[in-house]
């Protein structure tokens, strides 16, 4: 059991990396009172994609380790490169959110300040990566997960208390109204939230530490736990959202927390900063590792860190937080799409291939059409 718990911490940490901080205002703005249903849909899609990931652990990895076909090998190599780009985007996203929450708590959250702070933190990671190596910071991943789970638990209690009081009041529970979007816009905005449930794929790359069955179970449990937490979190936070008066920002959770449980506002900001920093370090490590592997060791880890950091800084100054959310969703959808092609290339079952193809079509839609909430 302990190996499964240990293996589950990595994907769970990645899944909760940024999702719980931004998902409520994004969904509330897009679908209003139907946010829980939208969250359930996103989680269901993620579980379907996770099933493809687990299939590849059990069936594609042995093929890739022996004599893979040309198509299988090509799809796998392309997906490795796609994952590097996705990680670069996620590093920028994590640290954008870090800056947004820290500066929001200080009432200094302007676009310029956010970009400057994000750039400074990325530069810090680059310096540590080049001089000492990022392994010295890897211990933050597990602590980041523990603190994130603690703050989520406290927020659930705070929101539940608010909801209970509201339910007993004369006005009752007030659910938020969505902003005015067309059905197409709602679909593409919700599609752009795939990044919040991203992370289960990390089990594909833990083969050096855990056997296939352990990684499959870890992937499945990480998705079951995160789905339950997300659905409960969105459901309990939704009755507080009307206090935003239709103004939905990337750091609106600070305001919601202040309304429901003001004592948790500062701990939320601290937890956000730690979780985002540790997630950014983890994805920088993963990206540099993938770069080393795809270049067969010709690119050293310190230069890989510079490339990842440089790309993240460039994106930081090119897009807002919510725009990067959609870009990251599209990037990971493309990676998952390539993994679907890997699965189809090794599958022996026509029915199985058809099911994976359906998942691939949805991912192709997200890759092309996902847009940010505005």
Q: What is the pTM of this model?
A: 0.93
Distance CA 168, CA 248 (A): 27
**Is the per-residue pLDDT at 139 higher than 80?**
no
Domain range list for the chain: 2-369
Residue 154: other Cβ atoms inside 10 A: 17
Question: Residue 18: its pLDDT value, please?
Answer: 66
- Confidence tier at 1 by pLDDT (50, 70, 90): low
Residue 150: other Cβ atoms inside 10 A: 12
pLDDT digit string, tens, across residues 276-325: 888 888 888 888 888 877 777 777 777 888 899 999 999 999 999 899 99
- Confidence tier at 16 by pLDDT (50, 70, 90): confident
In 33-69, where does DSSP find H-type helix? Answer: 35-55, 61-65
Tokens coding 286: 């993963």
Distance between start and end Cα atoms, the chain: 44
Residue with tokens 């506002």: 265
Own/partner contacts of 128-136, CB < 8 Å, gap of 24 or more, are: 129/284, 129/288, 129/301, 129/302, 129/305, 129/306, 129/309, 130/302, 130/305, 130/306, 133/301, 133/302, 134/281, 134/284, 134/285, 134/288, 134/305, 135/285
Burial class (CB in 10 A: 0-12, 13-18, 19+), 107: exposed
Residue 348: other Cβ atoms inside 10 A: 7
pLDDT digit string, tens, across residues 316-352: 999 998 999 999 999 999 999 999 999 999 999 999 9
- Confidence tier at 78 by pLDDT (50, 70, 90): very high
- The DSSP-derived string for 243-310 is GGTT---TTHHHHHHHHH-GGGHHHHHHHHHHHHHHHHHHHHHHHHHHHHHHTTT-S-HHHHHHHHHH
pLDDT digit string, tens, across residues 228-262: 999 999 999 999 999 998 889 888 999 999 999 98
Query: Is domain 2-369 given the CATH code 1.20.1740.10 in the classification?
Result: yes
What's the mean pLDDT when you consider all of the chain?
90
Question: Residue 5: its pLDDT value, please?
Answer: 79
Residue 152: other Cβ atoms inside 10 A: 18
């Amino acid at each position: 059991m302990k190996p499964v718990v240990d293996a589950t911490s990595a994907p769970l940490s990645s899944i909760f990396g940024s999702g719980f901080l931004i998902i409520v205002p994004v969904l509330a703005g897009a679908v209003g009172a139907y946010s829980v249903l939208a969250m359930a849909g996103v989680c269901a899609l993620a579980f379907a994609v996770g099933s493809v990931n687990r299939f590849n652990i059990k069936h594609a990895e042995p093929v890739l380790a022996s004599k893979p076909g040309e198509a299988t090998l090509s799809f796998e190599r392309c997906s490795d490169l796609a994952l590097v780009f996705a990680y670069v985007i996620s590093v920028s996203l994590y640290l954008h959110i870090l800056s947004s929450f820290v500066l929001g708590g200080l009432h200094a959250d302007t676009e310029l300040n956010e970009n400057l702070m994000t750039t400074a933190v990325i530069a810090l990671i680059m310096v540590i990566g080049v001089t000492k190596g990022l392994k010295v910071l890897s211990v933050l991943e597990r602590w980041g997960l523990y603190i994130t789970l603690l703050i989520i638990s406290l927020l659930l209690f705070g929101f539940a208390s608010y909801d209970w009081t509201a339910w007993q009041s004369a006005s009752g529970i007030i659910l938020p109204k969505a902003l005015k979007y067309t059905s197409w816009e709602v679909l593409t905005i919700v599609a752009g939230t795939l990044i919040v449930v991203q992370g289960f794929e990390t089990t594909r790359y833990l083969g050096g530490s855990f056997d296939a069955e352990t990684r499959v179970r870890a992937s499945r449990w990480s998705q079951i736990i995160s789905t339950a937490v997300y659905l409960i979190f969105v459901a309990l936070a939704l009755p507080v959202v009307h206090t935003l008066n239709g103004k939905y920002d990337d750091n609106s959770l600070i305001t919601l927390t202040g309304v429901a449980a003001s004592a948790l506002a500062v701990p939320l900001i601290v937890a956000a900063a730690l979780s985002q920093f540790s997630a950014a370090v983890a994805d920088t490590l993963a990206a540099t590792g993938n770069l080393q592997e795809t270049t067969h060791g010709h690119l050293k880890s310190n230069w890989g860190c510079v490339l990842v950091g440089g790309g993240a800084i460039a994106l930081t100054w090119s897009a807002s937080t919510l725009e990067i959310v959609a870009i990251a969703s599209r990037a990971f959808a493309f990676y998952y799409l390539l993994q679907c092609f890997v699965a189809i290339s090794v599958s022996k079952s026509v029915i199985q291939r058809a099911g994976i193809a359906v998942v691939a079509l949805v991912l192709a839609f997200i890759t092309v059409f996902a847009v940010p909430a505005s």
